[in-house]
């Protein structure tokens, strides 16, 4: 059998072996045993025989026999009458499969069982190699994105080449994360993460340089140096597909700066701040380059934010009332008339309330330097609510 693998690494695992034995016994309705390269029965339709030595298979392996027919029960230790056939990959015997019974009745199954077993073993090996390759890529991407100094490691470029990852091209970082909700159980969360990854991979399947991996709550995409238009299409189409399949809204943080391999850590941090702002802004996709105060807010603890708010409004018993007033006042660019219309109050009433605020806080929202302090308090108050 020709293959694209290294036979010295190919071993038949017990789980794979038992599945093969079970599947084949259902097809041919005979008792089957599967022995590993050490002639130990690792799977059988007779559970009592698992783990025992099978001298017949040792004969097949040591003499490289095409088949071994056992006619008497005591002929080979631990072996019953039947047919034993080598499992071969690229000319190397990696195990033996045995069919228990009279040779005249079971010989017709020999070639079929041999071929089917070899195909199933190789198929499982390839699946495992693919899983290991995916796992290695994810580990590499985690190190690259979350470890600021990983690029200086001498093995960085070598590992990237082995994994088929081009680190010499510039990239942009985009992070997807579902809106906050009651935490699902681990299995549901894992299933959802896999669905999100599949959606994004399908949207970017035309690009071999798109790299995607996930943490518990985020799906991180390292995009090739696409234009802003291409990036925007990927984000919009990805969100639409995820929301259609998973019934959940996604926040998206984007860093539109093209970064080389040494700058990916900083690019991720920028996209993370944009994601934070996106989740606060009803899941609207946001680029780091659009942020202002939002750059600072994720760095501040809830305790620090509340301390600042209390300091500004310490003499205001109606703190919430003044925060809402200032929120609308600032959104109206300081227009008393527009603020009054929004609150269904006369502009003189607005003027009176602003004067009372000045008396109690010592800050006048009509002065630029005082307005900046009050505006920050309003932003922090809004942030503490969400």
54 in the same domain as 12: yes
291 in the same domain as 306: no
| Tokens 């690229």 -> residue | 90
108 in the same domain as 20: yes
Q: Which of 106, 127, 148 is the last residue of a domain?
A: 127
Q: How many CB atoms lie within 10 A of CB 351?
A: 14
Check pLDDT > 60 for residue 182: no
The length of the chain, given as a count of residues: 386
Asked if residue 246 is part of any domain, the answer here is: yes
SS3 208: coil
Q: What mean pLDDT comes out for the span 349-361? A: 93
- What is the 8-class DSSP label of residue 365? T
Check pLDDT > 80 for residue 314: yes
Residue ranges with strand state E in the chain: 32-35, 41-44, 68-70, 82-89, 92-100, 171-178, 211-214, 219-224, 250-259, 286-287
Q: What mean pLDDT comes out for the span 65-91? A: 92
Q: Are residues 218 and 275 in contact, defined by beta-carbon separation less than 8 angstroms?
A: yes
287 in the same domain as 334: no
C-alpha 123/C-alpha 298 separation (Å) is: 48
End-to-end CA distance of the chain: 62
Q: What mean pLDDT comes out for the span 120-142? A: 91
CATH number at residue 161: 3.30.70.270
Q: Are residues 268 and 151 in contact, defined by beta-carbon separation less than 8 angstroms?
A: no
Residue-wise pLDDT for 277-300, tens only, equals 898 878 889 999 998 887 888 888
Order the strands of the 286-287 sheet from edge to edge.
Answer: 211-214, 219-224, 171-178, 250-259, 286-287
- Between 179 and 86, residue with greater pLDDT: 86
Q: Which of 295, 310, 334 is the last residue of a domain?
A: 295
Q: At what angle do helices 347-361 and 319-331 cross, to 10 degrees?
A: 120
CATH number at residue 72: 3.30.450.40
177 in the same domain as 289: yes
Q: Has this prediction a pTM greater than 0.75?
A: no
Range of the domain at 324: 300-385
C-alpha 355/C-alpha 363 separation (Å) is: 9
């Amino acid at each position: 059998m020709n293959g694209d693998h290294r036979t010295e690494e190919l071993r038949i695992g017990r789980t794979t072996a038992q599945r093969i034995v079970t599947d084949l016994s259902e097809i041919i309705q005979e008792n089957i045993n599967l022995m590993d390269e050490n002639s130990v029965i690792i799977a059988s339709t007779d559970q009592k025989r698992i783990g025992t030595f099978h001298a017949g298979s040792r004969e097949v392996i040591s003499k490289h026999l095409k088949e071994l027919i056992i006619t008497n029960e005591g002929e080979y230790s631990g072996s019953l009458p039947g047919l034993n056939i080598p499992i071969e990959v690229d000319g190397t015997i990696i195990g033996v499969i045995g069919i228990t019974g009279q040779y005249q009745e079971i010989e017709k199954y020999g070639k079929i069982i041999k071929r089917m077993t070899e195909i199933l073993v190789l198929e499982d090996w390839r699946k495992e190699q693919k899983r290991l390759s995916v796992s290695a890529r994810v580990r590499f991407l985690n190190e690259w994105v979350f470890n600021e100094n990983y690029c200086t490691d001498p093995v960085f470029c070598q590992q990237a080449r082995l994994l088929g990852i081009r680190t010499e091209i510039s990239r942009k970082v985009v992070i997807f994360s579902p809106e906050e909700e009651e935490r699902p159980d681990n299995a549901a969360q894992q299933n959802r993460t896999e669905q999100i990854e599949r959606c994004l991979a399908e949207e970017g399947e035309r690009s071999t340089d798109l790299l995607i991996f996930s943490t518990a709550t985020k799906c991180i995409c390292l995009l090739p140096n696409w234009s802003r238009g291409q990036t925007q299409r990927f984000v919009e189409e990805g969100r639409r597909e995820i929301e259609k399949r998973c019934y959940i809204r996604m926040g998206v943080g984007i860093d539109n700066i093209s970064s080389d391999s040494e700058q990916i850590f900083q690019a991720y941090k920028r996209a993370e701040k944009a994601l934070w702002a996106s989740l606060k802004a009803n899941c609207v996709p946001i680029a780091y380059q659009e942020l202002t105060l939002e750059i600072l807010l994720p760095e501040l603890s809830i305790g620090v934010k509340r301390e600042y708010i209390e300091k500004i409004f310490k003499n205001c018993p109606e703190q919430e009332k003044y925060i809402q007033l200032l929120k609308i006042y600032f959104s109206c660019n300081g227009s008393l008339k527009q603020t009054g219309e929004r609150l269904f109050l006369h502009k003189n009433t607005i003027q009176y309330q602003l004067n009372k605020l000045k008396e109690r806080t010592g800050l006048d929202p009509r002065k630029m330097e005082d307005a900046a302090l009050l505006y920050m308090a309003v932003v922090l108050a809004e942030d503490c609510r969400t």
